[in-house]
Amino acid sequence: MTQTERKSEPSVILQLRRDLLAGFSVLLGLAGAALIGAPVIGFLLAPFVRGKPRVWRAVGRVDQFKIGDTVQVTFENANPLPWDGFLRNTSAWLRQESQGHFVAYSINCTHLGCPVRWEPGAQLFLCPCHGGVYSRDGQVAAGPPPRALVQYPVRVQNGLVEIQTTPIPLV
Amino acid sequence: MPGFLKKSWRVLDDRLGISKNVMPILRHRVPPRASWWYVFGSATLFVFILQVVTGTVLATIYVPSTQSAYESMNFITHSAFLGSLLRGLHFWGAGAMVLLIGIHSIRVYLMAAYKYPREANWLTGSLLMVLTLGMGFSGQLLPWDQNAIWSVIVGAEQAAKVPYIGRALAKWILGGPTLGGLTLSRFYAAHVFFFPGLIFVLLGVHLYLVLHHGISEPPRAGHPVDPKTYRDSYANLIRTKGVPFWPDAAWRDVTFSFICVVTIFLLALFVGPPPLSKVPDPTIIQASPQPYWYFLWFFALLATAPHGGETLFIIATPAVYFLVMFVLPFIANKGERSARRRPWAIGLVIMSVIIIGVFWWKAKLHPWVPAFDAEKLPASVVRSNDPAVRRGALLFNERGCEFCHKISGFGGERGPELSDVGDRLTREQMTRFIMAGGYNMPPFASVLSADDMKNILAFLSSRRVPGGSPSARSAK
């Protein structure tokens, strides 16, 4: 080996060591970030993991509802959190069309979700937000809503009217 | 004892390196004619600092839980010492931030300061703008009143319209299948931790870049940006004609920011924060949700967009706007900077300002909100002894016509005013509208009996310009 080659050998090894150490540090940093990052991101994705249970909730006795009248009923969501407060409940518009046959409409306007009001004098559902109007049967009568009011499943069991809880309608 | 103070200062300065490192930054040279147009960026920064300070202070009382958010906000507004003023500062500061960041971006755009070498300034600034809008939106939920929860539902429904990922996005925003306690917590975490954290980092990068590249010189027509020569010519300009930032240019920044702060203070003192609406009970159907004033123009857009055009106007148009904003420095980083040579830039800015301005103006009048509380027309307006006309006037209110139609100052503005409809339409035309409806009008065929129609037509036909009501005419 020549003098120059012997002199450059330690430099080459030194550089190799530096490269290795740098690569090792970066890899270790990435590994640590991944280790913590995975559960952190997973935690943020919790809304997709939570189940979608549907439960039947009683809203009153059949004889409480006059045939043809559209009334507001309130019931508890499927699995509310202990601290949901007011938001444990949902409302719907309920009507007994004929003896024992009910229909329930979501209060959420199909345009962008604002609560629609039933106006008995006009026999119309009116939305306060952007001018949506629905007729008695939930079909769009005027304004921007793209489709009819969402209907919740309703059944009568043991003389009680029951509505099935549903996640907020996302059109 | 000035001698003692001087010595203390020298020791502090030596340990902290202020004179050595900080003062040179403050006194770095900037182009000489950087005028009042350049104050908007620093104004945005100072208002942001105001927001952080007032927000932190509000957080010493505000409780981000569904049980207590509304009550604690109520307490801040009505009971806490100077609470209303603090809330007012934070609210008007938020509006100022949105306004100032808009003006700042328009100024930068019109002076083409996004061109070489400041592309990264523009990109970090664009991200900061998106985050600012995010802060404005997330902040509105925190009072957790009726207006807040419905605004978030509307926001989630808009997100749901994004193709493919919409429903997942909406669900993620809400924190579950429906609005609940989790929604409040995530919005609080976003508003207080996530977004501000990202803003701090991006602000740091943004300011570092401003110092690194230097403040852009005012553009001159006939002097396009050429990446090969720009750096040299800029360095030359600074060397020969540059003035120290502090105080030659900075005094304008401070003055304008002071004016902004005083304006925010006066608004907070004399107008105050927005009043809390009802408690956030989603079963209270009587609601008329509205976003805060800086989003009102978008509210108007949602109401007046053509039917079926939601995805285009709510999702596609803003998406294209943001896409152009982010792509701009990649496609237009050379060439003329002066607005005099860039008519499209001027046109785009004028168009945007007019569009937003018109929607704001329209929203202020909110003509599409039905007048749910419209009163029955008084006798002085009906002006008739004809029983059919009087019955028709009653039906006009009871059947909901008055929600959307105005007569002599009573009623809503969704549809045309009908004070003189007797002069304009024949009975046949009126019948057609009422029975079959129109673009924004529902059909009433199934709601009105033949008798109802007779009375309503009698009433509407009697609506004519002053100069003779039917009864006066028949009396003659």
Task: Return d(Cα B459, Cα B393) in angstroms, integer.
Answer: 6
Residues in chain A within 8 Å Cβ distance of B295: none
- Backbone phi, psi, residue A163, to 5°: -115, 140
Closest listed residue to residue A115, CA positions, set B154, B74, B476, B115: B154
Among A130, A136, A137, A152, pick the best mutation site for testing chain B contact (most B Cβ within 10 A). A130
Task: Return d(Cα B339, Cα B351) in angstroms, integer.
Answer: 15
| Residues A73 and B268 sit within 8 Å (Cβ to Cβ) | no
- DSSP helix/strand/coil, A53: coil
Does any CB of chain B come closer than 8 Å to the CB of residue A133? Answer: yes
- Entry field: residues in chain B: 476
CA distances from A36 to A25, A41, A42, A44, B201 (A): 17, 9, 10, 13, 21
CB A146 to CB B308 under 8 A? yes
Binning pLDDT at 50, 70 and 90, where does residue A78 land?
Answer: confident
A59's tokens: 């809203």
Domains of chain A by residue range: 3-47, 56-164
Closest listed residue to residue B89, CA positions, set B260, B319, B298: B260
Task: Return d(Cα A121, Cα B402) in angstroms, integer.
Answer: 11
Strand runs labelled E in B265-313: none
Nearest to A72 among B172, B285, B440 (CB): B285
Does any CB of chain B come closer than 8 Å to the CB of residue A124? Answer: yes
Model pTM score: 0.88
Does any CB of chain A come closer than 8 Å to the CB of residue B117? Answer: no
Binning pLDDT at 50, 70 and 90, where does residue A48 land?
Answer: confident
Does any CB of chain A come closer than 8 Å to the CB of residue B386? Answer: no
Nearest to B282 among A52, A91, A167 (CB): A91
- Half-sphere exposure (CA, 13 Å, Cβ side) for A129? 26
Q: Which residues contact B15 (CB under 8 A, 6 or more apart)?
A: none
Residue B341, min C-alpha distance to chain A (Å): 42
Task: Dihedral sign for Cα B136, B141, B146, B152, please.
Answer: positive
Does any CB of chain A come closer than 8 Å to the CB of residue B371? Answer: no
Residues in chain B within 8 Å Cβ distance of A84: 66, 180-181
Strands in A151-152's sheet, in edge-to-edge order, are A70-76, A89-98, A101-106, A151-152
CB A72 to CB B283 under 8 A? yes
Burial A66-87 (b: 16+ CB within 10 A, else e): eeeebbbbebebbebbebbbbb
- Entry field: residues in chain A: 171
Residues in chain A within 8 Å Cβ distance of B401: 122
Residues in chain B within 8 Å Cβ distance of A117: 285-286, 372
| Interface ipTM | 0.85
Residue ranges and CATH numbers for the domains of chain B are 14-365 (1.20.810.10), 379-475 (1.10.760.10)
CB A113 to CB B157 under 8 A? yes
Residue A18, min C-alpha distance to chain B (Å): 29
Q: Which amino acid is at B268?
A: A
pLDDT surpasses 80 at A66? yes
Task: Return d(Cα B137, Cα B191) in angstroms, integer.
Answer: 9
Nearest to B176 among A47, A119, A130 (CB): A47
| pLDDT tens series, chain B, 476 aa | 688 999 999 999 999 999 999 999 999 999 998 789 999 999 999 999 999 999 999 999 999 999 999 999 999 999 999 999 999 999 999 999 999 999 999 999 999 999 999 999 999 999 999 999 999 999 999 999 999 999 999 999 988 888 889 889 999 999 888 888 999 999 999 999 999 999 999 999 999 999 999 999 999 999 999 999 999 999 999 999 999 999 889 999 999 999 999 999 999 999 999 999 999 999 998 888 888 988 989 888 888 888 877 778 888 888 999 999 999 999 998 999 999 999 999 999 999 999 999 999 888 876 778 888 889 999 888 888 899 999 999 999 999 999 999 999 899 888 899 999 999 999 999 999 999 988 789 999 988 999 999 999 999 999 988 764 444 444 43
Angle between helices B83-110 and B69-78 (to 10 degrees): 100
The confidence score (pLDDT) of residue B384 equals 87
Residues in chain A within 8 Å Cβ distance of B150: 113-115, 129
Q: Of A114-118, A152-156, A163-167, B130-134, give the lowest mean pLDDT range.
A: A163-167
Binning pLDDT at 50, 70 and 90, where does residue A3 land?
Answer: low
Q: Which residues contact B210 (CB under 8 A, 6 or more apart)?
A: B41, B121
Task: Return d(Cα A20, Cα A27) in angstroms, integer.
Answer: 10
Phi-psi region of B437 (alpha: psi -120 to 50; beta: other; left: phi over 0): left
Q: Which amino acid is at B429?
A: Q
- Half-sphere exposure (CA, 13 Å, Cβ side) for B130? 14
CB A170 to CB B369 under 8 A? no
Residue B460, min C-alpha distance to chain A (Å): 17
- DSSP helix/strand/coil, A140: strand
A50-63 pLDDT tens trace:
667 789 999 999 99
- Backbone phi, psi, residue B218, to 5°: -60, 135
Nearest to A130 among B280, B283, B302 (CB): B302
Topology given in CATH for the domain delimited by A56-164: Rieske Iron-sulfur Protein (2.102.10)
The one-character DSSP state at A17 is H
CB B303 to CB A133 under 8 A? no
| Residues B51 and B114 sit within 8 Å (Cβ to Cβ) | no
